[in-house]
Amino acid sequence: MATVQFGKETSKRGEFVRQANRFTDRITADGSSGWKAEPGRYRLVVSLACPWAHRAIIVRRLLGLEDAISLAVVDPIRDEKGWRFTLDDGGRDPVLGIEHLSEAYLATDPSFTGRFTVPSIVDVESGRVVTNDYPRITLDLSTEWRAFHEAAPELYPEPLRAEIDEVIEPIFRNVNNGVYRCGFASSQEAYDDAFDALFAELDRLSARLADRRYLVGDAITEADVRLFTTLVRFDAVYHGHFKCNRNKLTELPVLWAYARDLFQTPGFGDTVDFDHIKRHYYVSHEAINPTRIVPRGPDLSAWQEPHGRLDVRLEPRQGRRDVGVVRPGPVRLAGDHDGHRHEPARHPQPAALGHPAAGAVRHEVVLPPRDRHLERRLDLVGEPAARNRIGDRADRDPAAPAVAVGAAEPRADGRRAHAAPPADLDDFFGEGDHDRRVADEPVDLRRGSVDGHLTGRDRGRHPSTPPTAAGAVKAAPAARQPHSAGPKLP
């Protein structure tokens, strides 16, 4: 049999059989599990390259848990001891005080001999791993950490849980894990079976999403998060590296538009780091890519193209109040002409897709002083006196007052402010001047920034990845103190 990447996880038939999650304790709201949800107590260890960890990054951000659960980002390249903290000063995590994630694993179970995986949640005081059970981690962030959510959407709403569970099971088996079953197969038969199951499921998902914007219900849920983290990596690594090459994502019209819709939603595209993704897969899997050459492509600019899915809708969820949902909207991943980096809002704000609040709603564009970050907020309140405030960068005097949207105001760059929004706020966010303005400004999709961690060029960028324009990357964060919740996201 050919050399395999993970011998312990390869069957006699040549199939990749993923190892079980070793640590499956749960962090609960009441502490009945032995681990109580408490701000500052736990540290979430992730790799920006890993799709399983990426789920937790997205959900943590969408729910506004950045201050409650601190984040540790490992180097995308593992060494013989596994995931390492070489992105931090001195090659040591500043909160846990360890050089490798394996140290926390072995402190918890000295007999452990499996792979050290991310995401993992570590108890800061004891240094022990509480859980590396990635499917449960994100669900518990939604259900057990509710007391610490900030203007959070319902990613796992109770009335839809049965349907979400039904949808995500084949997505995991055939897509999330299916690409690995293709890539790590060591026999033609095992590869063929995984390949057929993968594209059959993608075809089913295309059919499902042809007449609905999201997988379940009328808003983004856990199901969309789980599918997105595989789709966003598909053309960059899975199509070539894992031989998932019947089609590229860009050749599947419905899924490609769906993926762009999510990518352009705050909390999704701004947590993607293609530099980490490509270097991890192409350099770490020497059995698949012995030369460790990292390809230059694909072209990433199309991720910012309009997705055209604003007219794909479902009826409002029945039998429940409108809750916070993740709003669609363009994502700015790099600075523009002022040399500063702008990122989307930290937390989605309460709003209902396509259902404006009752009463007359006044819309304003608020132009704050120049700053390193761009916050784009939508606060939709069901009161006649309520107003929507949409953050936008000031291209004029920082002290200039807010202006109503009604009359388009000229900007210093020659473009004009937004026209009056229609009654349907989805159209306001997805169409017209706003969409075009973001589309024609420079973006850098190769790298992101999570909780102040420098990525890409700043932390050992692979020479195959071209540098960004000067000034497009954030400055290094101040050193964190042990037991802190970590710095705030922009």
Counting Cα atoms < 13 Å in the Cβ hemisphere of 95 gives: 26
pLDDT digits (tens, 9 = 90+) for 460-484: 444 444 443 333 333 333 343 333 3
Residue 202: the pLDDT is 98
Report d(CA 40, CA 37) in Å as an integer: 9
Can 182 be counted among the known catalytic residues? no
Residue 52: the pLDDT is 97
Question: Per-residue confidence at 288, pLDDT binned at 50, 70, 90?
Answer: very high
Verdict on whether the full-model pTM lies above 0.75: no
Q: Which amino acid is at 8?
A: K
Give the pair of three-digit tokens for residue 146.
Answer: 């509710």
Residue 313: the pLDDT is 59
In which region does residue 176 sit, left (phi positive, over 0), alpha (psi from -120 to 50) or beta (all else)? alpha
Residue 19: the pLDDT is 79
Residue 450: the pLDDT is 58
Asked if pLDDT for residue 434 goes beyond 60, the answer is no
Residue 216: the pLDDT is 98
Can 50 be counted among the known catalytic residues? yes
Residues in the chain: 490
Give me the percent of the chain exceeding a pLDDT of 70.
62
Question: Per-residue confidence at 195, pLDDT binned at 50, 70, 90?
Answer: very high
Mean pLDDT of the chain: 73
Q: Which of 42, 50, 105, 134 is catalytic?
A: 50
Q: Which of 42, 134, 180, 258 is catalytic?
A: 180
Q: Who wins on pLDDT, 224 or 10?
A: 224
Q: Which of 1.20.1050.10, 1.10.10.10, 3.20.20.70, 2.60.40.1180 is the CATH number of 1-329+446-490?
A: 1.20.1050.10
Q: What distances in angstroms separate CA 72 from CA 151, 258, 264, 269, one per listed residue?
A: 24, 30, 25, 19
Residue ranges per domain, the chain? 1-329+446-490
Residue 451: the pLDDT is 57
Question: Per-residue confidence at 231, pLDDT binned at 50, 70, 90?
Answer: very high
- Among candidate residues 429, 367, 375, the one with its CA nearest the CA of residue 403: 367
Q: Who wins on pLDDT, 389 or 156?
A: 156
Find the angle CA(20)-CA(157)-CA(270) to the nearest 5 degrees: 70
Q: Who wins on pLDDT, 329 or 202?
A: 202
Residue 32: the pLDDT is 97
Q: What distances in angstroms separate CA 8 from CA 15, 16, 196, 459, 482, one per listed residue?
A: 11, 9, 24, 32, 36
Sequence-distant (≥ 6) Cβ neighbours of residue 359 within 8 angstroms: 382, 383, 384, 385, 386
Are 421 and 387 in contact by the 8 Å Cβ rule? The answer is no
Least confident of 118-127, 201-210, 371-380: 371-380
